[in-house]
Structure 1
Amino acid sequence: MIKKVEMLITERRIIALDTVELTLKNRHISQTARPGQFLHILVEGQTLRRPLSIAAIDKEAETVTVLFKINGSGTKKLSEYQKGMYLDVLGPNGNRFPIENDDKTILLIGGGIGVPPMYFLGSHLVNQGKKVISILGFQSADHVFYEKEFQALGRTIIVTNDGSYGEKGFVTDALLMIDDFDCYYTCGPIPMLQAVTAKLSDCSGFISLEERMGCGIGACFACVIPTNDHCGYKKICKDGPVFHSKEVAL
């Protein structure tokens, strides 16, 4: 159930180049959020809220962790919020990753700011006894984050565009290093999702879309995407952000 709440910033960290991690406290969201969902955050001076994927929850501490990259005036303003301040938040929003199945080995593929929701999902899968393999793509060494956190979940391959850290290339290049898996989940920019779904067209998978949004609850049509069956459109904020890899046209 989506609620409008105030969330206290309990921690703020710069974890990579232009990448900020916020830990936010709220009982309702920390107890109800599921992997794949996001928070819709109001930033002072901005008309539209900012959708941020959930990277982790701590039910005992009643906290939710989100990450974002500074890439505009809104995220720049959000990066200036400090520990002890409050945020106006709608959440948890969107649908979640479907994970109630018999798959034993799961491949996670995250690119840039699409990495955080993969960590929330991976932590949940490991707690279910699943084997997790992760491929994480970044622009360069300065942009890499959460490597140790993912390594604690299972085998992790880091890829950078310029080869300054880990393997050189794109996440699709690293697929050649993976022998076998039952299902994949991926989140990142559209070109990456297009390349991944094309490369893994014969595999079962789910994608999570990053998108600018208006209302964030399905009342407007600011974040629609056409379906592959040519029967209309899906709203990313309400019907997504998670879709089956063959459900929507990227």
Structure 2
Amino acid sequence: MMRKENMVILKKSPIAQDTIEMVLENKYISNTAVPGQFLHLQLKGHMLRRPISISQVDEHAETVTILFKVVGSGTKELASYPIGNSIDVLGPSGNGFPLEPKANSTILIIGGGIGVPPLYYLARKLKEQQVNIVSVLGFQTKESVFYEEKFAELGRTIIVTNDGSYGRKGFVTNVLDDVSSIDCYYSCGPLPMLQAITAQMAGKHGYISLEERMGCGVGACFACVIPTDDCGGYKKICKDGPVFPAQEVQLV
């Protein structure tokens, strides 16, 4: 259940171009978070909280790791916080990925950019269930790549960059045909990427996680709704998501 908590910054470091990894300490969130959930952070001088996906959890150390790209005033503010600083957080927020695969099944992980972090926590949990994991991770350039080694420890990992400066050249959808006989897929990334993936993977069982700016983050303001396949129906990304069955929502 989501609660308002204070989280203390234990570590922070740049891990790729304009990308920061931050380790936060909190007993409650580290012991209740599941893959796919996010933290809703209150930042100084900003009215709206910022949603940041959870990329790792260490229940024993009582820590939660987040990754974020410095792209605006909010993430710039967050990146400036020193070690030891306390952050007001709502979490763990949202609904996460279902962990339902059978042992020895093959799971495809498809991530793009800052959509990669929540998939790492997911992949670690899936690996505990004795499944085969194949990861396809897309980035803009070589300088943007992160967590390649971490995913490679869990299974076959394919890196794709838009400009071809590292790994395969192109988009994640360009290499999906290289992966066959999957039982389920999980994906998180920019909307155009998810649109292309769900079209290409039509008929396959899968789940997607949506990246979205939010208002309240608790389902009260209707600022982050998305249409569903139900006639006239809508879901709230912050409360009903951010994870949905791939064919449940309309990616418009």
Q: Which interval holds the TM-score relative to the shorter structure?
A: over 0.9
Residue 218 (str. 1) matches residue 219 (str. 2): yes
What residue number does 1:105 align with?
106
What residue number does 2:128 align with?
127
What residue number does 2:239 align with?
238
Residue 74 (str. 1) matches residue 74 (str. 2): yes
How far 1:131 sits from its partner (Å)?
1.0
Q: Tell me how large the CA RMSD over aligned residues is.
A: 0.8
What residue number does 1:44 align with?
44
- TM-score after normalising by structure 1: 0.98
Show the 5 A alignment for 1:1-250.
1-102=1-102, 104-250=105-251
How far 1:101 sits from its partner (Å)?
3.7
How far 1:232 sits from its partner (Å)?
1.5
Give per-residue Cα distances to partners, 1:9-52, cap 9 Å, x unaligned.
00001000000111000000000000010000011111110101
Counterpart-to-counterpart distance in 2, 1:223 and 1:93: 14
Query: Is contact 2:27–2:63 with CA below 8 Å preserved after alignment?
Result: yes
Indicate the SS of the match to 1:155. Answer: strand
Indicate the SS of the match to 2:107. Answer: strand
Give per-residue Cα distances to partners, 1:96-143, cap 9 Å, x unaligned.
111124261100000000000110000000011111110000000010
| Percent sequence identity over aligned pairs | 61
Counterpart-to-counterpart distance in 1, 2:54 and 2:231: 31
Indicate the SS of the match to 2:138. Answer: strand
Indicate the SS of the match to 1:31. Answer: helix
- TM-score after normalising by structure 2: 0.98
Q: Which runs of 4+ in 1 moved over 3 A?
A: none
Counterpart-to-counterpart distance in 1, 2:63 and 2:20: 16
Counterpart-to-counterpart distance in 1, 2:18 and 2:74: 13
Give per-residue Cα distances to partners, 1:55-110, cap 9 Å, x unaligned.
00000000000011111111111111121111110000000111124261100000
Indicate the SS of the match to 2:208. Answer: strand
How far 1:174 sits from its partner (Å)?
1.1
Query: Is contact 2:8–2:85 with CA below 8 Å preserved after alignment?
Result: yes
Indicate the SS of the match to 2:116. Answer: helix
Counterpart-to-counterpart distance in 2, 1:160 and 1:82: 32
